[in-house]
Amino acid sequence: MIEVNNLTTSQVDEDFVKRVAEKVLKEEKKQRDISIAFIGEGRMRKLNKKYRKKNKVTDVLTFGEGLGEIVICLREVKKNAKKFNSSFQEELARVLIHGTLHLLSYDHEKSEKAAEKMKEKEEYYLKEVSSFKF
């Protein structure tokens, strides 16, 4: 089951979000309940400060204990899309794939080799989901 909670005033295509997460889970052969929450910059800064000791906004945080939870800051996703000259939908897919891979124990901060493997997976899934909408 994938649950989506949008705690912002921005519109999010929940079907797209679920399809992206399901694609990664299915191909990785993992069954897992996931909660995906969309939040604003203030909440994201507080979570990042509390759990990662970084007093700044980030685009995605993942909490894997119990119910896997992915928290995404839509404003940061929009900023990233502009910065990287991509669409909002593509950037949303990118952070969602990144967060889902973290829930499946991929960790780009563990080593250079782990970072390369995770990046390869992200690029693969981004291509796989590109037909979904963006």
CA of 112: how far to CAs of 16, 69, 74, in Å? 31, 25, 28
88-103 and 14-27 are packed helices; what angle lies between their axes, rounded to 10 degrees? 40
Domain count, the chain: 1
- Burial class of residue 109 in the structure, from the number of CB atoms within 10 Å of its CB (0-12 exposed, 13-18 middle, 19+ buried): exposed
The pLDDT tens digits of the residues spanning 83-120 come to: 999 999 999 999 999 999 999 988 888 889 988 999 99
Stated pTM of the model: 0.90
According to DSSP H, which parts of 28-111 are helical?
Answer: 41-52, 74-83, 88-103
| CATH value at residue 126 | 3.40.390.30
* pLDDT at residue 32, rounded to an integer: 85
Domain that holds residue 44: 2-132
The pLDDT tens digits of the residues spanning 21-40 come to: 999 999 999 888 999 999 99
Residue 66 has pLDDT above 70, yes or no: no
* pLDDT at residue 110, rounded to an integer: 86
* pLDDT at residue 132, rounded to an integer: 78
Mean pLDDT over the full length of the chain: 92
Using H for helix, E for strand and C for coil, what is the string for 63-78? ECCCCEEEEEEHHHHH
